[in-house]
Structure 1
Amino acid sequence: MNLRGERQAEFAYQAVYRYMISLINEVGLETPVKLPSLRQLSTRLNVSISTIQYAYSLLEKEGRVYSVAKSGYFAWPVTSNPLMAPGGDLLERLYAAARRPRMAVLSGDEPALLGALDGTLLTLERQLIRRYPRHLQPWSQPCGVWELRAVLAARYTSSPTRCWQADEVYIGADLRGVLEILIDVLGLKGTTLIVESPCDWLILRLLQAAGVRVIELPWKADGSLDLMSFEHLLRHEPVQLVLLSSVVSLPSGVAMSVQERLHVAHLLEQHGCWLLENDSYGDLAFAAGQPALRNLVNPERLIVFSSFDKTLGAEAPFGYLLSRHLSSELQRQFLLRAFRLSSIRQRAIARLYQSGRFDQHLQTLRQRLQEQAEAMSQRVDARLEGRVTYQPPRAGASLWLQSVATVDMRQVFQRMVAQQVVIAPGELFSLAGLHHQHVRLSHVFNGHPNLDVALDALALAFQQAQIG
C-alpha cells in the first residue's frame, strides 16, 4: 500500500523528522537502539540543536522513541510491541503501531504541525540571551517566570470582576505535570467528578490513576449537551467539580450555544459546583467571538488549565493553570516538583504574546486548520459515503467519525494497522465504555500520506468489521 504523496516545502524540523524515521527504519529493532545525540545530529545535519529537539519531541509523542535521563534517546524494539494482542491495552497498541516503521499516523491531534513558531522562538531566545546572560535561574521562580505569568493573567482578564494576577498563574513542565499537581492539591481521590465525554485520554487516565470517580456526560448526536442529565447528576450525585471545555470540546469538535452556556453557568452556581475548565483548544476555534465558559461562571469557583503546545508546537511544551485559591499549597507543590523550566524560553513566549505575533500566528493557524478540515471532510464524504456520520468540527485538527453500521472498531483498528495506517478508536476517549462506534481521524499529520488510499482502506475495514 503506497501512502506517500508529493512532498511540499517543509521546515527544517520536518526534514530532520524524515531523516530520523529513515534512520530508525534502517536498524534492526530486536532490542532498544540508542539514537544519535542532539549535538551529534546538529553537527551531522547542520541545523540547530533546538530543531533536533523538536523533531525528537514529535517522534516521542508518536511513540517511536523514548528518552532516558542523562542517556539520550532510544528507538523502541518492534518485536516487543503488544500490537497483535487483541485483548491488550488499546492505548498501548496504538502507541506500538505508531512507532512502527512506515506508518501513516492519522490518530493524533497536533494542530501546530500546520505552522509552529519554532524559528521565531529561537530568534527571540538569541536576543534574550544577550540581554539576560546570567539570569537562567530555574530554582528562583518555581511557578514560572513573572513575565509569562503576567502576560497570561492579562490575556485571561475580561472585566474588573473577572481578572487575574500574575501570582494566580502557575506554569509547569507540561500539562501532565500540572494536572497531577492539581489533582493532588484539590484532594480528588475518592471524590466524584463530572467530565464531558468524549474526553482526552491523558486527562481520563490521570483521573483514573488518582482514584477519582468519573461520571461521563456524553455529547448528544446533534452536538448539544444533555442539560437534563447534567441537572439530574448535580441534584443526585455528590459532585463538587465539573470538567468542561472553554469553547469547543474535542475530539467531538462541538460547542455549546450561548444559551446552553448560560444554563450550565446557572446550574453550577445553583448547586455550588466548581468549574475546572479545559482551555487547551480555546484559541483554536475556527469562528471568532465565541464566549468562553469561564466568562459566564462564578470566578470564585473556577480553575482553568491549558498548555502552549497545541498552538506553538513541541518547542513550547509547558502546561499552566489559573486559580485564585489554594495559592500556598499550589506554590508548595510546584516548588517540590522542582520543574527545571527554561526561563529564556518562557520569556520568548511572553514576547510572542506582547508583540502581537502570537495573535497573528493564531489567525493564520486557525484559517489553515479550517481549510484542512474542510478538505478532509470532502474526502471523507466521497470515500466513506454512507458509512460514517459526523459533526463538522469547529476547532482543532481532527474529525470525530461515527460508524453508521455496528462494527467491531478494534477490528477496524487492527485492519488499518495491517494497511500501515493508525487511527484512534473512540473507546480510548471514555472510561465508561462509550464511543465504541466512533473513531478520531486527524487531518494534520507528519508526512504526506495518500489520503484517498487510506480512506478507501478505512471504508473497506468498516465493511469487513461489520457485526450482524
Structure 2
Amino acid sequence: MTLRGTRQADFAYQAVYRYMINLINEVSTDTRVKLPSLRELSQRLNVSISTIQYAYSLLEKEGRVYSVAKSGYYAWPLANSTATFASGDLLERLYVAARSPAMAVLSGDEPALLANLDDTLLRLERELVRQYPRQSQHSSQSCGVWELRAALAARYTSSPTRCWHADDVYVGADLRGVLDILIEVLGLRGATVLVESPCDWLILRLLQDADVRVIELPWMHGGRLNLVSLERALREESVQLLLMSSSLSLPAGVAVQPQDRLELAQLLDHYGCWLLENDLYGELSFVPTQAPLRDLVNPERLIVFSSFEKTLGPEAPYGYLLSRHMSSQLQRQFLLRSFRLSAIRQRAIARLYHSGRIDLHLRSLRALLLEQASAMSELLDQHLGGLVTYRMPVGGATFWLESARTVDMRQVFQYLLARAVVVAPGELFSISGLHHQHLRVSHTFQGLPNLHTALAALGEALRQAHQG
C-alpha cells in the first residue's frame, strides 16, 4: 500500500490516521493488542516515520491507543476490568486506564484543551496550499522550515546580547524525539545531571533509559529553591548540566522567585555549569513573571527546549530546541532521524507568531486556565478539605496535592481505578523515591459531569488508605 499521490488537500498524516482507525476497529479482543511499529508502518505505507509518529500521537490523545516505553503502541482492550490495571508498572497502568472509555481522568496535563487552535491552523494550511507550489510542500528540511525557525528565534530574542537566529533553532517531530537528540549530542549517557523535582515523567524516563545519573533537587514547602543543596551538588559532584524550568515549574505549580533566580544564575556561572532550560510552560503563567532564567545565565552555556503542544494543542505536537553551539552534531542527528515534517503545518504555526495571533490566543488561554483553577480550588476545599494541602498554582493546568496524613498512594490509585477515576501518583514524578504523599490532578474539565463524584471518591480513597 502507498499513500503517495493522495489529493493535495489530504495531508499524509490524515491518510495514515484513517488507515490506523480502520486497523484499530478490527481489534475485537478483550486483551491489549500490539500495533505495528513506526518503521513497519513507514515501509508498509511508504511515508516517513515522523508522519506515522504524528498520526499515532493524535490517536493517543484521542484515547484510541497508548504507548509503552521500549515496547511500542497498543490498542486498548474493548472490555477492561480492574484486573487489566493490576499488571505492569505504575506508569503503564496509568496510561492504560486514562485511555479507557468511561473513566474520569483527573491525571491529565492538557492546557490547550480549553482553547486550541486546530481550526485556525487548518484554515491557514488551506491558504498556504493555494499559495505554495505542491513540490515545496514536501521539501525535506531536516531541522524545520526556515519560516518557523525564524519566528521562534525572534520570539526568544530579548536583547542585542541575548539574541537567537534561525540557524540556532531545531524543530523535531515531538518532544521525545528532540530530547533523545539532546541526550545523544550532549553525551549525557553515564553523566551526572541535576534536575528540579518534581519533574515530568517523560523527561525522567528518557534520562533513566539513557543511564544518566540524576540528582533531584526538590522544591521546598515555601515554593523556594534549595540553593544550599544546589551549591553543594555543584561543588562536590561532576555535574554536566542543570535541567530547570524557565519560569514556571510544573507539576509543583510554582514560579522561581526573583532572588533565587539571580543566585542560581550566579552559581551556574561560578561553577561553569550548563543550563538545559525547560520552557514547556513558560507561556502559561497566569500573571506576567520576571525574566526567564535564560535571560540571566551565561548565554554561552545555555540550551532551551520546548514544544507547541501545551499551548496550541495536539495538532501541533512538534518539539524544538535552541542552541548556539554543536550545530554540526545537532544537524547530523536531526538528519539521521529523518524528521520530514509537514512544511505547510510548520508555516501555518509560523504565521501565528508573525501575525500576533499567538499572543491573543495565549491571553485567552491563560484567562481560561486561571478561571478553571479558581473553580477547581473551591471544589478541592469542598471535597478534600482537611485531607490534602496545596499551593494555588501560578500557571498551567494542574494542582499538586499533598496528603495531610500518611497514606499508601498506590492503594489510593487502585481504589480509584475500581471506581473509574484516574489520578497521577506523585512517585511518577521522581526516580529516587520522592513525592510518595503527593498526586497531580488536572483542572481543565469544562464542566465534567462526574467531577463531584470523582473528587468525593478521591476523598474516600485518602481516608481508606490512611496509615495510622
Measured after TM superposition, the shift of residue 27 of structure 1 is 8.1
Of 333-342 and 55-64, deviating more is: 55-64
| Matched AA of 2:423 | I
Aligned Cα root-mean-square deviation (Å): 2.7
* Alpha-carbon distance between aligned partners in 2 of 1:83 and 1:443, rounded to the nearest angstrom: 28
Match of 2:273 in 1: 273
* 1:262 alignment partner AA: L
State the identity as a percent: 69
Aligned-residue offset at 1:395: 1.1
Counterpart in 2 of 1:219? 219
Do 1:225 and 1:256's aligned partners in 2 also have CA atoms closer than 8 Å?
A: yes
**Hey, what's the Cα distance between the residues in 2 that align with 1:334 and 1:416?**
42
Specify every segment of 5 or more residues in structure 2 that has no aligned partner in the other structure, as ranges.
1-19, 36-52, 68-72
Does the Cα contact within 8 Å between 2:168 and 2:322 map onto a contact in 1?
Answer: yes
Shift of 1:453: 1.2
- Per-residue displacement from partner, 1:382-403 (whole Å, max 9, x unpaired)? 1101010011101111100000
User: How do 1:28-67 and structure 2 match up within 5 A?
Assistant: 29-31=29-31, 57=57, 59-61=59-61, 64-65=64-65
CA 1:246 to 1:463, structure 2 compared with 1: closer, same or farther past 3 Å?
same
In structure 1, the partner of 2:287 is 287
Following superposition of structure 1 onto structure 2, how do residues 308-319 of structure 1 map, counting pairs within 5 Å? 308-319=308-319
Aligned residue in 2 for 1:43? none
Q: Residues of 1 paired with 2:201 and 2:449: CA distance?
A: 25
How far 1:330 moved relative to its partner? 0.2
Written as runs of structure 1 = structure 2, the 5 A alignment for 1:262-411 is: 262-411=262-411
The answer on whether the counterparts of 1:82 and 1:92 sit within 8 Å (CA) in structure 2 is no
| Cα contact 1:63–1:99 (8 A) shared by 2 | yes
Partners of 1:107 and 1:423 within 8 A in 2:
yes
Structure 2 CA distance for partners of 1:208 and 1:419, relative to 1, 3 Å: same
Matches within 5 A, 1:4-403: 29-31=29-31, 57=57, 59-61=59-61, 64-65=64-65, 75-77=75-77, 88-136=88-136, 138=138, 140-403=140-403
Tell me if the contact between 2:66 and 2:95 (Cα under 8 Å) persists in the aligned partners: no
CA contact (8 A) 2:305 2:322 kept: yes
Query: 1:447–1:418: structure 2 CA closer, same or farther, 3 Å change rule?
Result: farther
Quote the offset at 1:84 in angstroms.
5.4
SS of aligned partner of 1:284: coil
User: How far apart, CA to CA, are the structure 2 residues paired with 1:114 and 1:302?
Assistant: 32
Q: 1:406 to 1:125 in 2, by over 3 A?
A: same
How many angstroms does 1:439 deviate by?
Answer: 0.3
1:442–1:159 Cα change, 3 Å: same
- Partners of 1:170 and 1:27 lie apart in 2 by 38
Alpha-carbon distance in structure 1 between the residues aligned to 2:332 and 2:238: 28
The alignment partner of 1:400 has SS state of strand
Give the match's secondary structure for 2:134.
coil
TM-score between the two structures when normalised by the length of structure 1: 0.86
Tell me the alpha carbon deviations over residues 58-101 of structure 1, each in whole angstroms, 9 at most, x when there is no partner.
5513654259xxxxx97322568895565741000101211222
In structure 2, the residue corresponding to 1:196 is in which secondary structure? strand
| Counterpart contact for 1:153–1:166, Cα < 8 Å | yes
After TM superposition, give the deviation of residue 134 of structure 1 in Å: 2.0
Structure 2 distance, partners of 1:76, 1:114, is: 26
Report the alpha carbon displacement of residue 135 of structure 1 after superposing the two structures with TM.
Answer: 4.0
SS at match of 2:248: coil
Residue 48 of structure 1 corresponds to which residue in structure 2? none
Q: Using the TM superposition, give the Cα deviation of residue 31 of structure 1 relative to its aligned residue in structure 2, in angstroms.
A: 4.8
Instruction: Give, in whole Å, the separation in 1 of the partners of 2:141 and 2:252.
Output: 37
- Name the CA distance, whole Å, in 1 between partners of 2:436 and 2:375: 26
C-alpha distance in 2, partners of 1:363/1:83? Answer: 44
1:42 maps to none
What is the CA distance between 1:409 and its match in structure 2? 0.2
Q: What SS does the aligned partner of 1:234 have?
A: helix
Paired residues in the alignment total 426
CA-CA distance at 1:54 after TM superposition: 9.9
The alignment's TM-score, normalised by the length of structure 2, stands at 0.86
